[in-house]
């Protein structure tokens, strides 16, 4: 009840300046509230089964034949390359907004009610918010480069060997452990500056923050700033993961003899 009242008040504030129209605003509030109540967690990505390859014995023997220097330099070179490509792809104008694969959608509560919002004459505001959150992510991602490269430089030989013989996303998982917390702190102020100017973002923060107290909204969706920051990081790590998989699948295709040798060993070649 508290949440529905809060949503109705927020929507009334948002539409106070719009002309009267034959539309049930109470129904819109109820629909938006219902969308929050039914907000679903993002579907977990299906992890593809690893294709059959060389036996573990062959892989272990090939990796053991590498020198420590080759493992260290090869892994650091691969991770640096993957991080730089991911940051360059996403951290530019339309890196998120102009690419359907990476575009950040509106928070689930707003997305589910977007049709009704358009009927109520608020479509332009929804579009403005979607553009703003993606521009915020594009502005924040370049901040990641220094921390990602720093994580590579501080990698131990033990870390490198573990990543080399790990799964397709072992390096991506390493980046998450080392950089997610500090990147969150770096992204938040940038995202906040970009979204504070959007009226719908402020309205969302008011009702989503209260809804979160009742467990109706996930913690990472309690504010636009938290939502965009987490979505941007998720996509950044996904982009890094794709670079990692590509290098593992075709190390010779990188044009680097060292990467070909090191990751070739991980494939038992």
pLDDT digits (tens, 9 = 90+) for 208-226: 888 787 777 888 888 999 9
Burial of 153 (0-12, 13-18, 19+ CB in 10 A): exposed
| Torsion sign (Cα): 249, 254, 183, 90 | negative
pLDDT-based confidence at residue 91 (cuts at 50, 70, 90): very high
pLDDT-based confidence at residue 14 (cuts at 50, 70, 90): very low
Cα(153)–Cα(183) distance, rounded to whole angstroms?
A: 17
pTM listed for this prediction: 0.75
- Tell me if 184 sits within 8 A of 9, measured CB to CB: no
Say if residue 8's pLDDT is above 80: no
Q: What single DSSP character describes residue 180?
A: H
Give the pLDDT confidence score for residue 55 in this predicted structure. Answer: 58
- Give Cα separations from 131 to 52, 101, 194, 252 (angstroms): 43, 15, 10, 39
Q: What single DSSP character describes residue 253?
A: G
Give the pLDDT confidence score for residue 56 in this predicted structure. Answer: 61
Look at 116-130, 178-192, 227-241 and tell me which has the smallest mean pLDDT: 116-130
Portion of the chain with pLDDT greater than 90, in percent: 37
pLDDT (tens digit, 9 = 90+) per residue, 168-204? 889 999 999 999 999 999 999 999 999 988 888 888 8
HSE, CB side, 13 Å, CA atoms: give it for residue 11: 25
Q: 103: phi > 0 → left, psi -120 to 50 → alpha, else beta; which?
A: beta
Look at 68-82, 137-151, 174-188 and tell me which has the smallest mean pLDDT: 68-82
pLDDT-based confidence at residue 132 (cuts at 50, 70, 90): very high
């Amino acid at each position: 009840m508290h949440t529905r009242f809060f949503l109705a008040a927020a929507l009334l504030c948002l539409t106070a300046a719009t002309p009267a129209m034959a539309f049930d605003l109470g129904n819109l509030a109820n629909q938006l509230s219902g969308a929050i109540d039914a907000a679903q967690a993002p579907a977990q990505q299906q992890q593809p089964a690893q294709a059959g390859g060389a036996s573990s014995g062959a892989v272990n023997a090939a990796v053991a034949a590498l020198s420590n220097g080759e493992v260290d330099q090869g892994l650091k070179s691969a991770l640096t390359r993957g991080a730089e490509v991911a940051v360059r792809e996403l951290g530019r104008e339309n890196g998120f907004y102009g690419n359907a694969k990476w575009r950040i959608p509106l928070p689930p509560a707003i997305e589910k009610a977007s049709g009704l919002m358009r009927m109520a004459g608020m479509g332009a505001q929804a579009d403005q918010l979607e553009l703003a959150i993606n521009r915020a992510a594009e502005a924040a991602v370049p901040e990641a480069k220094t921390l990602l490269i720093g994580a590579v430089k501080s990698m131990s030989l033990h870390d490198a060997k573990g990543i080399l013989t790990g799964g397709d996303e072992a390096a991506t998982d390493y980046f998450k452990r080392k950089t997610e917390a500090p990147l969150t702190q770096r992204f938040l102020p940038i995202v906040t500056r970009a979204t504070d100017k959007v009226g719908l973002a402020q309205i969302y923060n008011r009702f989503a923050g209260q809804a979160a107290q009742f467990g109706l909204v996930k913690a990472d969706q309690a504010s636009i700033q938290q939502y965009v920051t987490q979505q941007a990081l998720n996509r950044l790590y996904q982009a890094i993961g794709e670079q990692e998989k590509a290098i593992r699948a075709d190390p010779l295709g990188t044009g680097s003899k060292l990467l070909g040798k090191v990751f070739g060993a991980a494939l038992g070649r």
